[in-house]
Amino acid sequence: MTNRYTEGLYRAARAQHKVAKVDDGLRLIADVLEQNSELEGILQHPVISPQQKAGVIQSVFGEDLDPLLTRFLRLLFERGRSAYIGAIARRFHELAEEAEGRVRVRIETAMPIPEPRLRALEDALSQRLQKQVRADIAIVPDLIAGIRIHVGHRVLDATVKGALDQFAERLGRVASAQRKAEAE
C-alpha cells in the first residue's frame, strides 16, 4: 500500500522538479516522528481530525515543508494512513537516490573496516553496480570474519559464519540422504 502512495508522490514531485525538497521534508518529518512518540501519537490518533493533524504539522514544521508535501500529508491524514509516513519517507528516499544514480548498501563486518579499504570497497561496488555507492557499516561480531553486503534484496555473504552455516547445511543434507539410503 505504501508503494502506491510513494510512487504517486514521487511522480508529482518529479513533474514539479521538487524531488530533493520533498525528500528532505519527508526525512525531516520521519526523523522527528521517530524521536518524538507524542507527536507520532497525535498524528495516528483516530479521534483527532485530519485538519487538526495538518495544523499540527504546519505548526511544527512551518515553511520547512513544500506545499506539495503538505497536501500529500493532508491526503494521508484524510485516508487514515498516518502510520505510513516513515515507510513512505524511506521508499521515497530510495527512489530519489536511484534516480540520481546512487544506491545505499549495508555492509556488515565483524570488525571495523579501515577508511581506505572502505573507500576501495565502495569504488569496486560502484563499478560493479554502475551506480554511486554509499555504504552504511554495521559491526556484527557474530560474523567472525569477512563481510556481508546487502544491496536491496540481494545479499553477498563472504563471512566465516556464512561459510560455516553453508557447510553445516550441506552436512545435514548428506547425513539425511545417508539415513534415507540406509532405511531403504
| pLDDT tens figures, 62-96 | 888 999 999 999 999 999 999 999 999 999 998 89
> For residue 119, what pLDDT is reported?
92
Q: Which of 50-59, 97-106, 114-123 has the lowest mean pLDDT?
A: 97-106
Predicted confidence (pLDDT) at residue 1 exceeds the cutoff of 70? no
Is residue 139 within 8 A of residue 110, CB to CB? The reply is: yes
> For residue 98, what pLDDT is reported?
83
> For residue 173, what pLDDT is reported?
87
Predicted confidence (pLDDT) at residue 35 exceeds the cutoff of 70? yes
What CATH class does 2-97 carry?
A: mainly alpha
Q: How far apart are CA 16 and CA 139, in angstroms?
A: 40
Percentage with pLDDT > 70 across the chain: 99
Q: How far apart are CA 177 and CA 120, in angstroms?
A: 44
Residue whose entry in the numeric block shows the C-alpha cell 555507492: 133
> For residue 145, what pLDDT is reported?
87
